[in-house]
Structure 1
Amino acid sequence: MTLSLSKAITRIALAAAMPILSLFLYGCASSTQITGSWKSPEALPQQYQRIVVAALTDNVLARQEVENDLQAQLRLRGIEASKSIDLFPPSAGAKTGPDVNLLLDRIKENGHDAILTAALVDEKTETRYVPGNVGYRPMTRFMWYGSFRGYYTYWYPTLYDPGYYTEDKVYYLETNLYDAQTDKLVWAAQSRSYSPGSLRRAAAKFAEITVQKMSEDNVISAQIRQ
Structure 2
Amino acid sequence: MKHNLIRNAWLPLLLLLAGIAACSSSTQIMGSWKSPEIEAQNYQRVVVAALTDNVLARQEVENDLQAQLQMRGIQATRSIDLFPPSATAKTGPDVNLLIERIKENGHDAILTAALVDEQTETRYVPGNMGYRPMSRFVWYGSFRGYYNFWYPTLYDPGYYTEDKVYYLETNLYDVNTDRLVWSAQSKSHSPRSLRKAASQFAELTVQKMAEDNVLPAVVRQ
Structure 2 CA distance for partners of 1:174 and 1:145, relative to 1, 3 Å:
farther
TM-score, scaled relative to structure 2: 0.88
Aligned residue pair count: 210
Q: Does 1:186 align with 2:175?
A: no
Determine the structure 1 residue equivalent to 2:14.
Answer: 25
The secondary structure found in structure 1 opposite 2:156 is: coil
Query: Counterpart of 1:74 in structure 2: which amino acid?
Result: L
The secondary structure found in structure 1 opposite 2:12 is: coil
Distance 2:87 2:56 in 1: 14
Given that 1:144 and 1:150 are in contact with CA atoms closer than 8 Å, whether structure 2 keeps it comes out as: no
Determine the structure 1 residue equivalent to 2:151.
Answer: 156
Match of 2:210 among 208, 212, 215: 215
Query: Counterpart of 2:54 in structure 1: which amino acid?
Result: N
The secondary structure found in structure 1 opposite 2:5 is: coil
Bigger CA drift: 42-51 or 87-96? 42-51
**Deviation of residue 149 (structure 1)?**
5.7
Query: What is the identity percentage for the equivalent residue pairs of Structure 1 and Structure 2?
Result: 72
Given that 1:32 and 1:205 are in contact with CA atoms closer than 8 Å, whether structure 2 keeps it comes out as: yes
Determine the structure 2 residue equivalent to 1:49.
Answer: 44
Match of 2:85 among 81, 84, 90: 90
Q: Which segments of structure 1 move beyond 6 Å, counting only runs of 4 or more?
A: none
Determine the structure 2 residue equivalent to 1:61.
Answer: 56
Q: 1:163-182, aligned counterparts within 5 Å?
A: 163-182=158-177
Distance 2:27 2:11 in 1: 15
Q: Does 1:106 align with 2:101?
A: yes
**Deviation of residue 44 (structure 1)?**
2.6
Determine the structure 2 residue equivalent to 1:128.
Answer: 123
Given that 1:16 and 1:120 are in contact with CA atoms closer than 8 Å, whether structure 2 keeps it comes out as: no
Given that 1:144 and 1:154 are in contact with CA atoms closer than 8 Å, whether structure 2 keeps it comes out as: no
Determine the structure 2 residue equivalent to 1:8.
Answer: none
Note the residue ranges of structure 2 that are not aligned, 5 or more in a row: none
Given that 2:46 and 2:77 are in contact with CA atoms closer than 8 Å, whether structure 1 keeps it comes out as: yes
Given that 1:19 and 1:58 are in contact with CA atoms closer than 8 Å, whether structure 2 keeps it comes out as: no
1:162-186 deviation digits (Å, cap 9, x = unpaired): 2211110000000000000110000
1:29-70 deviation digits (Å, cap 9, x = unpaired): 210000000000122313211100000000001000000000
Distance 2:37 2:104 in 1: 24
**Deviation of residue 15 (structure 1)?**
6.6
Distance 2:176 2:58 in 1: 24
What's the Cα RMSD here?
A: 2.0
Distance 1:144 1:45 in 2: 73
Query: Counterpart of 2:5 in structure 1: which amino acid?
Result: M
Query: Counterpart of 1:71 in structure 2: which amino acid?
Result: Q
Note the residue ranges of structure 1 that are not aligned, 5 or more in a row: 1-13
